[in-house]
Amino acid sequence: MNPKAPRSFCDTQELCPRVRSANELGPSLSALARVCRRVSQGAEDLCVALTPQSDTTDAQELYIQLSWLLERLAALAALKSRIEELREDALLTWFSDNDADVKSFEIGAGADKVLIWPTLERKTKLRGAGEGNTADQAALTRRAAGRALSKVLGALGAEKPEKLAGVLEPFLSANALKHGSCEAVLTAEEWDECWEVVEPKKLATGRPKKKLGIAHERFLKKHRKE
């Protein structure tokens, strides 16, 4: 069975001309927004048209048409990720080339103001957690999560926290506990026993990975202090 998309889903000719400059992106993005609205309305119309009086063929056709649409939307999600990657690579290179003169820049104004700057990529992970998907690594991760849970239960006043955490340990995963929330109930030393902040390295160079720091107005003061 070959699904055939409704005409309104396929009519995207206005997006085809190649963009030769940044100024030409505006009309293309406006056209994309119109297509998105048309696609949304088309999907809604198909669903509304399926009534209790519709037969099995109608239900099958609805499933086929919307499945076709979801496959195309998955391609748009991949496009979004690719554009984010291009934006980050281009701006990180620009910051690196202009490091002596420019440390950050702002766009927008008022509540819409955003600060952009290069920073090192960091992530918080369970201290002692396994790296990989083997049974041994998974056991290390559960053990690390159990140790963190024991600390949290003790801080919350639970009796025999180590024993309780031991019972729950087999059901824990690497992301079982929110490290930010746990930080509110643990001392700095207790938290540091359970989690660590690491800087991932680039496989090709061994150097720390960089990323774009992006902060909205309400967070600007915090990031400027850093």
Taking only the tens place, the pLDDT of each residue in 123-176 is 888 888 766 667 777 777 888 888 889 989 988 888 888 888 888 888 887 778
Q: Note whether residue 1 is domain-resident.
A: no
Based on the fold, state whether residues 98 and 29 are members of the same structural domain.
yes
Q: Say yes or no to pLDDT of 226 above 60.
A: no
Q: Note whether residue 223 is domain-resident.
A: yes
Based on the fold, state whether residues 152 and 164 are members of the same structural domain.
yes
| Number of domains, the chain | 3
Q: What is the pLDDT of residue 13?
A: 43
Q: What is the pLDDT of residue 8?
A: 44
DSSP secondary structure, the chain, as one string: ------HHHH--GGG-SPP-SGGGHHHHHHHHHHHHHHHHHHHHHHHHH--TT--HHHHHHHHHHHHHHHHHHHHHHHHHHHHHHHHHHHHHHHHHHTTTT-S-EEES-GGG-EEEEEEE--EEEETT--SSSSHHHHHHHHHHHHHHHHHHHHHTT-SSHHHHHHHHGGG--TTSS-HHHHHTTS-HHHHHHHEEEE--B-TTT-PBPEEEEEEEGGGHHHHHH-
Q: What is the pLDDT of residue 222?
A: 54
Based on the fold, state whether residues 65 and 107 are members of the same structural domain.
no
Closest CA to 185 of 219, 163, 161: 161
Of 62 and 1, the structure prediction assigns the larger pLDDT to 62
Q: Are 107 and 113 in contact (CB under 8 A)?
A: yes
Q: Note whether residue 86 is domain-resident.
A: yes
User: Could you report the per-residue pLDDT of 7-21, keeping only the tens digit for each?
Assistant: 444 444 444 455 556
Q: What is the pLDDT of residue 23?
A: 66
Based on the fold, state whether residues 33 and 93 are members of the same structural domain.
yes
CA distance 171 to 106: 45
Domain that holds residue 182: 132-189
Confidence of residue 95 (pLDDT cuts 50, 70, 90): very high
Q: Note whether residue 81 is domain-resident.
A: yes
User: Could you report the per-residue pLDDT of 41-70, keeping only the tens digit for each?
Assistant: 989 998 999 999 999 999 999 999 999 999
Based on the fold, state whether residues 98 and 109 are members of the same structural domain.
no
The mean pLDDT of the chain is: 82
Count other C-beta atoms under 10 Å from residue 39's C-beta.
19
Confidence of residue 116 (pLDDT cuts 50, 70, 90): very high
Q: Are 213 and 119 in contact (CB under 8 A)?
A: yes
pTM listed for this prediction: 0.63
Based on the fold, state whether residues 177 and 87 are members of the same structural domain.
no
Q: What is the pLDDT of residue 141?
A: 81
Based on the fold, state whether residues 21 and 117 are members of the same structural domain.
no
